[in-house]
Amino acid sequence: MKIINLLNMKGGVAKTFTVVNMAYELWRRGYKVLLLDNDKQGNTSRAYWRYDAESISPTARILSGEWECLDEPSGELIQSTDYDGIDIITTNMSLFGATCTLMGENSGDITGRYKKFLLEGTMKDGSLICDKYDYCIIDSPPDIGINVINALAASDEVIVPVKIDKDALEGLDIVAEQIEDAKAINPSLTLKGVLVTSYQNTDGEYAGLEWLKKQWEDESSERYRKYPILGIIRYSKKVAENSFLRKPIYEYSPCCGVAQDYKKFVTAYTGKGR
């Protein structure tokens, strides 16, 4: 199971939208996908119709380490979705309480909770969770807390969704710093690259994109090959106007440029079309 973390400390850059659509595109290629909703807003849980505001969420139970003491298989914390092959570890506001409690613990491995669950947890039939799925996709909040550090400790790769604006590079540098810091607990963690989101072909954004590309292509730049561009997702009014529609874009507007762009991105990412 490859664990991919969609991360950017900036809000509203389409982390959740990318998680939702990337999972769908991987599923369309026959991959088994596990979603980990690591943002207490629970937007990925909502998008796949599994949000539950009332109970202590699976993410909170994993971070507290409670699952290890239970008789039930850890796979009980994973829910199926309406898509046979996309499962989810949901979250809600209880994640906040769990992170506060975890910060107060001064013994034990407080950064390795998600990793232990994903790599050592078992399904009902006794098989390992990590053997059941091809990909685990993590949705991150727009901040850095102990839950994000736990996710970085478990991740193989980070993909950074960015919107082209004057702060985009600063946001990227912050993520790159976080990844360097996280290498202390996860040396093999890699920054896979950047996914440009909500791209509008205005003179301003075009110039911004060209400038960003140059940063990565110019061998004398300190950013050279640090943040390769993995794809460009266009802006669409259909998405902006239908954010209440909780489903992958391909399901309600397959011909829309955004649906096509996610398809293209995942084909390039996996090397497998559909």
Ligand X SMILES: Nc1ncnc2c1ncn2[C@@H]1O[C@H](COP(=O)(O)OP(=O)(O)OP(=O)(O)O)[C@@H](O)[C@H]1O
Pick 42 or 193: Cβ nearer Mg ion = 42
186 makes contact with Mg ion (CB under 5 A): no
Which residue is listed with tokens 């399904």?
123
Residue 174 beta carbon to ligand X: minimum distance, rounded to whole angstroms: 14
- Strand 157-163 versus strand 2-6 pairing type: parallel
Pick 55 or 243: Cβ nearer Mg ion = 243
147 makes contact with Mg ion (CB under 5 A): no
Two tokens, residue 121: 């947890």
Residue 193 beta carbon to ligand X: minimum distance, rounded to whole angstroms: 17
Give the long-range contacts of residues 72-80, CB within 8 A, separation 24 or more: 73/121, 73/122, 73/123, 73/124, 73/126, 74/117, 74/121, 74/122, 74/129, 75/121, 75/122, 75/123, 75/124, 75/129, 76/124, 77/117, 77/121, 78/34, 78/123, 78/129, 79/50
> 118 contacts which partner out of ligand X, Mg ion, none, CB within 5 to 8 A by kind?
none
Pick 143 or 180: Cβ nearer ligand X = 143
Q: Residue with CB nearest Mg ion?
A: 16
Residue 141 beta carbon to ligand X: minimum distance, rounded to whole angstroms: 6
Pick 104 or 244: Cβ nearer Mg ion = 244
DSSP 4-60: EEE--SSSSSSHHHHHHHHHHHHHHTT--EEEEE-STT-HHHHHTT---SSSPPHHH
Residue 6 beta carbon to ligand X: minimum distance, rounded to whole angstroms: 8
Pick 44 or 74: Cβ nearer ligand X = 44
111 makes contact with Mg ion (CB under 5 A): no
Pick 143 or 177: Cβ nearer Mg ion = 143
197 makes contact with Mg ion (CB under 5 A): no
CA 69 centroid distance within chain: 28
Binding residue for Mg ion (CB under 5 A) from 16, 45, 150, 197? 16
> 243 contacts which partner out of ligand X, Mg ion, none, CB within 5 to 8 A by kind?
ligand X
| CB neighbourhood size of 203 (10 A) | 7
Two tokens, residue 51: 């949000």
Pick 19 or 129: Cβ nearer Mg ion = 19
C-alpha distances in angstroms, 18 versus 120, 182, 220, 265?
A: 27, 23, 32, 10
Contact positions vs ligand X (CB under 6 A): 11-17, 39, 41, 43, 142, 197-198, 233, 235-236, 239-240, 243, 258
**Which residues inside 38-77 make contact with Mg ion, applying CB under 5 A?**
43
Residue 194 beta carbon to Mg ion: minimum distance, rounded to whole angstroms: 17
Residue 236 beta carbon to ligand X: minimum distance, rounded to whole angstroms: 5
C-alpha distances in angstroms, 159 versus 2, 79, 195, 227, 243?
A: 13, 25, 7, 9, 22
Residues that bind Mg ion (CB under 5 A): 15-16, 43
